[in-house]
Amino acid sequence: MKRIFIAIKVDPGPGIKSMMSDLSSSLSGDRIKWTDMSNIHLTLVFLGDIEEKRIKTLAMLVAEACSSAVSFDIEVRGTGVFGKKADPKVIWAGIEKSGALENLYSLVTAALLKGGFMSDTKPFRPHITLGRIRSVKDTEVIRGNRKVC
């Protein structure tokens, strides 16, 4: 079994780099594993554990679904956390929804459903994971809401 998610590789521009620098400085006394800049991505769908023998089929479905997608820009807006207010787990940067992003999400999820890879569909919450929190003293620092890029 492999832990699988479908994502868009993101080239972190100055806005994301500045946001991560500001946050890591503000949270320097906390225990956070920051995402390496080479691994910045926008998750479309998290699938969890998938049998290795099904990954090739999965890759073909996703490639076919994406073949009609068009290139688009993303706009990063604000930060937040996943997890309980008193025990956050992930720091993220929000992504403004766009028609092109919604279309790509729809194409991919339809292909995954058709191929039997998804049984439930949670609301799409586009984001970039900035860091995984081990412990943090002041969660308000990471709950900002500023436009980045």
- Tell me if residue 1 is catalytic: no
* Beta-bridge partners for 46: 5
Q: For position 149, what pLDDT does the model report?
A: 41
**25 catalytic, yes or no?**
no
pTM score of the predicted model = 0.84
Find the mean pLDDT for residues 9-27.
90
Task: Give residue 142's pLDDT.
Answer: 61
Q: Which of 23, 93, 127, 131 is the catalytic position?
A: 127
**Alpha-carbon separation of residue 20 from 23, 69, 97, 99 (angstroms):** 5, 29, 21, 27
What domains appear along the chain, each with residue ranges and CATH number? Answer: 2-142 (3.90.1140.10)
Contact 96, 77 (CB under 8 A): yes
The kind and range of the H/E element at 135 are strand 127-135
Structure-model confidence comparison of residues 80 and 113, the more confident one = 113
Catalytic pick among 17, 41, 54, 143: 41
The stretch 29-39 carries a mean pLDDT of 94
Could you give the 3-state DSSP secondary structure of residue 141? helix
CA distances from 19 to 15, 52, 63, 77, 144 (A): 6, 36, 32, 10, 10
